[in-house]
Amino acid sequence: MRALIFFAAAFLVAFSISAQSTSQDNIPNEQEIFATGKRLAECSAFFLFASQVSTSAGKTAAAEHLKNLYNGWQTAGAFFLITGAQRSEFNGPEQAKFIAEARLTQLNARVEIGGASSFSILSKEHDKDCEPLREMQEQTIELLRRKVSGK
C-alpha cells in the first residue's frame, strides 16, 4: 500500500495538483490523494453525460468514444480513491461510480432546468475544472496498462 501512496503522491507532485499540500515537504497526504480521485471521478461524469447526448442524437461513434473516455477517467479516479482511502475494505471502483452517478444527476438536472443551451456552459465548466487533470489521467492509465501487461 505504501508503494501505491508514493506513486500517487509522486503523480500529484509532478503535475502540481496539490500545490497547497498540508503534509511535510509539500508531499500530498492520503486525504489529498483521495480528493484527487474524487475530482477525477466527477470529471468522468461529463463524458458519460456527453455520451448519452451523442447517443440520443444518433452519433454512435462519438458516443462510443466518449464512453471510453468515461471509463478511463473512472479507472484513474478509482486508482487515486483506493490509494488515498484510509480503510482497507474501501471499494474504489464502486465509490468512483457513485461519485460519477451523483455528478451525472446534477448535469442532467441542469440541462432540464436550463435547456439545451446549458450543454455549452457545462462543457466550459468541465474544461476549466478537468483539463488540468487530463495529462495526469492519461499517464496514470498508460502506467496501469503497462503494469497489467508486465512491461
Q: How far apart are CA 116 and CA 123, in angstroms?
A: 12
The predicted structure's pLDDT at residue 118? 92
3 pLDDT exceeds 80? no
The predicted structure's pLDDT at residue 31? 85
Task: Work out how many domains the chain is built from and give that number.
Answer: 1
Proportion of the chain in helix, strand, coil states, percent, rounded to 5: 80, 0, 20
Instruction: Give yes or no for a contact between 114 and 55, defined as CB atoms under 8 angstroms apart.
Output: no
Q: What is the pLDDT of residues 70-79, one digit of tens each?
A: 999 999 999 8
Task: Confirm whether pTM is higher than 0.85.
Answer: no
71 within a domain of the structure (yes/no): yes
Q: How far apart are CA 21 and CA 147, in angstroms?
A: 28
Q: What is the pLDDT of residues 57-91, one digit of tens each?
A: 999 999 999 999 999 999 999 988 888 777 666 77
CA 84-138-122 angle, 5° bins: 85
67 within a domain of the structure (yes/no): yes
Give the type of residue at 57.
A
Instruction: Give yes or no for a contact between 73 and 43, defined as CB atoms under 8 angstroms apart.
Output: yes
4 within a domain of the structure (yes/no): no
18 within a domain of the structure (yes/no): no
45 within a domain of the structure (yes/no): yes
The predicted structure's pLDDT at residue 150? 75
Beta carbons within 8 Å of 15's beta carbon, 6+ residues apart: 132, 133, 135, 136
16 within a domain of the structure (yes/no): no
Closest CA to 25 of 9, 45, 42: 9
The predicted structure's pLDDT at residue 1? 47
37 within a domain of the structure (yes/no): yes
Determine what percent of the chain is predicted with pLDDT higher than 90.
54
143 within a domain of the structure (yes/no): yes
Range of the domain at 44: 31-149
- Mean pLDDT, the chain, rounded, equals 84
5 pLDDT exceeds 80? no
DSSP codes of every residue in 25-62: GG---HHHHHHHHHHHHHHHHHHHHHHHHHHHTT-HHH
Q: What is the pLDDT of residues 13-28, one digit of tens each?
A: 555 554 444 545 667 7
The predicted structure's pLDDT at residue 146? 83
Give the distance from CA 145 to its chain's centroid.
17
The predicted structure's pLDDT at residue 83? 80
